[in-house]
Amino acid sequence: MVRQPLILVAAGVERRGVEFHDLSVSLSVKYENALLQAGAIPVTGPTSTDRAVLAEALRRADGVLLTGGNDIQPDLYTSRLPRAVRKTVGATPDGGRRDLRELLLVDEIFRQRRPLLAICRGHQLLQVAFGGRLVADIRRQVPGALNHERSDQAGALVHEVALTPGSLLHKIIGAQTLGVNSSHHQAVLEPSPPLSATARSSDGIVEAMELNSEAAEALPFLLSVQFHPERLTGRHPQHRAIFERFVRVCARPKRRKL
């Protein structure tokens, strides 16, 4: 029997939950369903910003999934943002603690050499973790861009992306283009090293990133995608294959940390 790896899933926080209207952990069940379908056991990560707590949680896990959610705060990637653009950035329910927590977690992921799959906000967070910039609002900052805010079609393929031949994502998908969903208004235009773009939409938005060739051995697996494959696994085998490959790598014996 193949060992079921334990995947640490980073969750968001909502201002009012169902119990006493406290700040509450928020996570779409579609992430868990996609991991379970691929043969993994998902476990929600702690909401602490204590690095020691995050490091210990990661030591007990076989891989990490960074998920979607609230906007990343612009102060983390730029000191100059037009007022009209800044107004489009949503406030964080926990005062930016999720940004801090996940930046610490990314650093620890590389220290412990854990496989990482990052989705939507996680894709953007990874860019910021390496000192890269984001487009804070596509509509206002990328002339002629596609409409990437298609939450009304969250489970549908709304545009295609072109994959870099020979990339990890290209090998997983087995094709040079991939239909994706799209529900974001922040984005990556130019990856920050050691990240490299391996998929783009026709307007130039980076739809997937991997480690460049110089850093490829830093982690056993790293793939970040701007779209939401967890919402497409039921009807689209190519998106299910992303989770299957990730989980398969996570099931291997852990590599020693650097």
258 within domain boundaries: no
Query: Quick check: 105 and 54 in contact, CB under 8 A?
Result: yes
203 within domain boundaries: yes
45 torsion bin: left (phi>0), alpha (psi -120 to 50), beta (else):
beta
Residue 192 CA to residue 203 CA, distance in Å, equals: 19
* Three-state secondary structure call for residue 122: helix
Residue 174 CA to residue 177 CA, distance in Å, equals: 9
User: pLDDT tens digits for the chain (258 residues)?
Assistant: 578 999 999 999 888 777 888 888 889 999 999 999 999 999 999 999 999 999 999 999 999 999 999 999 999 999 888 999 999 999 888 889 999 999 999 999 999 999 999 999 999 999 999 999 999 999 999 999 999 999 999 999 999 999 999 999 999 999 999 999 999 999 999 999 999 999 999 999 999 999 999 999 999 999 999 999 999 999 999 999 999 999 999 999 875 443
* Confidence (pTM): 0.95
Query: Can you give 53-100 as a three-state secondary structure string?
Result: HHHHHHHCCCEEEECCCCCCCHHHCCCCCCHHHHCCCCCCCCCCHHHH
255 within domain boundaries: no
104 within domain boundaries: yes
CA distances from 221 to 67, 217, 241 (A): 16, 9, 14
| Edge-to-edge strands, sheet with 6-10 | 41-44, 6-10, 63-66, 116-119, 222-225, 206-211, 195-200, 159-163, 177-180
196 within domain boundaries: yes
Amino acid 24: pLDDT: 87
37 within domain boundaries: yes
Amino acid 16: pLDDT: 78
Which CATH number belongs to the domain containing residue 111 in this structure? 3.40.50.880
Amino acid 258: pLDDT: 38
Amino acid 255: pLDDT: 57
* Three-state secondary structure call for residue 254: coil
Residue type, 206: V
Query: Residues 146, 121, 237, 156: what is their CA dihedral angle, to the nearest 10 degrees?
Result: -40
CA distances from 21 to 17, 25, 221 (A): 5, 12, 38
Q: How many domains does the chain have?
A: 1
198 within domain boundaries: yes
Amino acid 1: pLDDT: 58
204 torsion bin: left (phi>0), alpha (psi -120 to 50), beta (else):
left
For residue 160, the enclosing domain spans: 6-250
91 within domain boundaries: yes
Amino acid 237: pLDDT: 98
